[in-house]
Structure 1
Amino acid sequence: MKRLRTTALALALLAPALPATAAESVNLILNWTPTADHAPYYYAKSQGWYEKAGIDLTIEVGKGSGVSSVKVGSGGSAFGIADLATMLVAKSKGADVVALMSVYANTGQTFYWLKSYGVDSPKTFPNHKIGNPPGDASRVMWPAFAKAAGIAPDSVSFVNIGPTAKIASLKSHAVDIISDFYNEHDQKVKEFGDDLGYINWKDIGLNPYGNSVIVNGAYLAKNPKLSEDFIRISQKAFAACVADFDPCLKSLLDAASGLDKENQQKQWERIKFLMTDEFTTTKGLGWIDGGRMQKDYELVQTYLGMEKPFAVDTAFNTKLLDPAIKMDASKVKK
């Protein structure tokens, strides 16, 4: 009997150690292809932060905020990145989505054009072609921009182009105007110089929350601790990247081929500006303000209509954020 116990103990010591609990497979669908604003997720994953919390994270390339909102809202992905106004539209159509953390406290939505094409302001957009992907947030919210600009929504035509083909399409005159995020601004300046014209949506009086982390509502109710861990790890990663972007950039470049290092570094400087407002610097990095959300809701309701109205406080939750992690405004270039 003693020999049997000794043999059993020896076998147990030789057996590979197994984790107490298996990591939970979790999917995060991006709003588009990976760029600098996604670097924190790749950095946190490369550092093993999600894994340590029992999260086996898969990062899925996206095809627009409309697509990511619908996929998360249907339960096809636990988490996603989406423009918040676009998410509200999806929620009014029945998508089960909740915003947990803002990335862009200021809208990144921007229209770009070439002056040589006869465009000098939104007033001259009519009878021109705008190029963007069909799921692009700026196309979903176009009626709001058109009304704010004082032009008819149907006065322009849209051309479907891929997210990586925007500059080439503008350069070849396949389109006259493109929509893009402000974080890509320096790339346009480098390519087109003084011929470039642009307007950020906030300059016309529209400043809805931009890209944010969203979650499936049923998933959040079933997995509150995992959801909190995911958000706080992501929040921690963004703060780390604000402090020092170099290791975050390396993680992004290792995971996504074909990105230009210098361009991504410049993007991140723009992104830090978009991340900064009175709430993210005082309440917590990624904070979503209820008053601003109400205005965003009214914006969507006014210009697009709500298929099924809902209480705006059901569309976001800031309780999972760590208030000790704040946006460091000293790292933002003026």
Structure 2
Amino acid sequence: MRMSTRKRTGAKAGGRTGLLQSRRPGRAVAVICSLALAVGALAGCGAGAKAQDGEDISFMLDWTPNTNHVGIYTAQRQGYYKQAGVSVKILPTAQAGAETSVENGVADVGFSKLSNLAAFNAQGADLRQVFDIGQKPIGRWCSLASRTDIKTPKDFDGKTFVSFGSAEQTAVVKQMIKNAGGQGDFQRATSGTSTFATLTSGKGDFAGFYVTWEGVQADLKGPKLHCFVQSDWGVPGNPDQIGFVVSSNWLKQESHRQALRRFVQASKRGYDWALAHPDQAADILVEQAPAARIDPQQARASMERIVKEGYWTGQPGATTLPGTVDMGQAQTYLDFQQTAGSYQDGKGGKLKRAPQAKDLWTDEFVK
């Protein structure tokens, strides 16, 4: 899951090492296979791995395999794709990003989030989100728990934010600091191979993490984190409506639409099964993605947190995925970012109007 034009923090086996940063949308098809691709996933590298039109779906991950992808691996393992008459090839994340790869036809479907599409489409892309698992925000803004001088986001003022300068993240952090009574001024540092390591080295003071993955890792293995939820500090809407994205141009072919509908419906079955059987689904993820070297304990704890706190369903303990975007929450967040001046057009100018969630999403393939 990424923000618009992303650079990324260093990937550690089994998942992200910090809240993914944004990178400028580009047109170049520069695909580099990740070593973290699961051996069990039928995948190739580059355009040669693209699925056959009307028969298969090639799906590109946004990062190394983690619990956000568990429904895909579960649907594969449980035979749901085969039953739906679609063959799925899981592709490794590309250096160019899933969005650019989908836009350029390297992959049929990719994993991303709605706010990414807002930034990409503002600069000339034509992407649509077709399936969503993010019903509640999962991003957290954290310092090490050992930093007793940081008690509220106000204390981020004058500190160093471990990031890559994303306009979206900058807007969020500034708003949090100001609402806590600060000025919204901070420095930036680039993360090394691990955001945790960058913080513990003293090269940075706070960073973004995902509560369902890095948050679980910190709880299990440390270092302990002290985190803030952006909605508690004046940032409206849900920035983490994550799921499947496609190119509108690709959707023009009826055979693609038919294959996509079968893929989305089977994937939803996979996610629903995972919610109902969290421990078994976590084990499937670990088994199906051996090269990612996912910690089984972290995978199980992550699935437990996802179910217990209702991150995919909006209801704690629920086991049926809506699969749809909350349009009100989406537009509220896009409007916030527009007011902050985060979006640019293809010439580097500010947009006159906020990206519209209704133009970025379709529920046609979920229902």
Question: For the superposition of Structure 1 and Structure 2, which TM-score range results when normalised by the shorter chain?
Answer: 0.7 to 0.9
What secondary structure is seen at the aligned counterpart in 1 of 2:125? coil
Structure 1 residues 287 and 264: CA distance shift in structure 2, 3 A: same
Aligned to 2:287: 254
- Distance in 1 (alpha carbons) for counterparts of 2:122 and 2:64: 26
Superposed structure 1 runs of 4+ greater than 4 Å apart:
151-154, 281-284, 308-311
SS at match of 2:212: helix
Please give the residue correspondences for 1:132-281 in structure 2 after superposition, counting only pairs within 5 Å.
132=163, 134=164, 140-150=168-178, 155-162=186-193, 165-184=194-213, 185-192=215-222, 196-206=225-235, 207-210=237-240, 211-222=242-253, 223-257=256-290, 258-272=293-307, 273-277=310-314
1:36 to 62, 67, 84: 67
Over the matched positions of the two proteins, sequence identity in percent amounts to 19
Is the contact between residue 148 and residue 204 of structure 1 (CA under 8 Å) also seen in structure 2? Answer: yes
Q: Distance in 1 between matches of 2:107 and 2:74?
A: 20
Give how far 1:175 is off.
2.6
| Equivalent position SS for 1:89 | helix
Query: Are 1:305 and 2:343 an aligned pair?
Result: yes
Distance in 2 of aligned mates of 1:89 and 1:75 = 19
Residue 97 of structure 2 aligns with which residue?
67
Distance change >3 Å, CA 157–CA 209, structure 1 → 2: closer
- 1:97 and 2:142 matched: no
For residue 139 of structure 1, report the CA deviation from its aligned partner: 6.6
Q: Check the 8 A contact 1:100/1:318 in 2, yes or no.
A: yes
Q: Deviations over 1:39-94 (max 9, x none)?
A: 11011112332244343322233379x93233323333221111321221112112
Find the aligned partners of 2:361 and 2:92 in 1 and give their Cα distance.
24
Instruction: Output the TM-score relative to the length of structure 1.
Output: 0.77
- List per-residue Cα deviations over 1:81-120 (Å, max 9, x = no partner): 1132122111211222111122111111111212444433
1:229: Cα distance to partner?
Answer: 1.0
Q: Give me the whole-angstrom Cα distance separating, in 1, the residues matched to 2:99 and 2:158.
A: 31
Q: Assess, with a 3 A threshold, how the Cα gap between structure 1 residues 80 and 139 changes in structure 2: closer, same or farther.
A: farther
Kept in 1: contact 2:113–2:129 (CA 8 A): no
- Any unmatched runs of 5+ in structure 1? 1-20, 323-334
* Matching of residue 27 in structure 1 with residue 58 in structure 2: yes
Cα 1:115–1:282 shift into 2, 3 Å: closer
Determine the C-alpha separation between the residues in 1 that align with 2:130 and 2:189: 32
Distance 2:115 2:319 in 1: 23
**1:284/1:321 contact within 8 Å kept:** no
Unaligned runs of 5+ in 2: 1-51, 346-350
Shift of residue 251, structure 1, vs aligned partner: 2.3
Please give the residue correspondences for 1:5-16 in structure 2 after superposition, counting only pairs within 5 Å. none
In structure 1, C-alpha distance between the alignment counterparts of 2:87 and 2:269, rounded to whole Å: 18
CA contact (8 A) 2:129 2:245 kept: yes
Give the partner amino acid of 1:235: K
Q: Distance in 2 between matches of 1:246 and 1:115?
A: 29
Letter in 2 for 1:70: T
Amino acid at match of 1:49: Y
TM-superposed CA distance for 1:183, in Å, is 0.3
Partners of 1:249 and 1:234 in 2: CA distance:
16
CA RMSD of aligned residues (A): 3.1
Structure 2 residue 325 is the aligned partner of structure 1 residue 288: yes
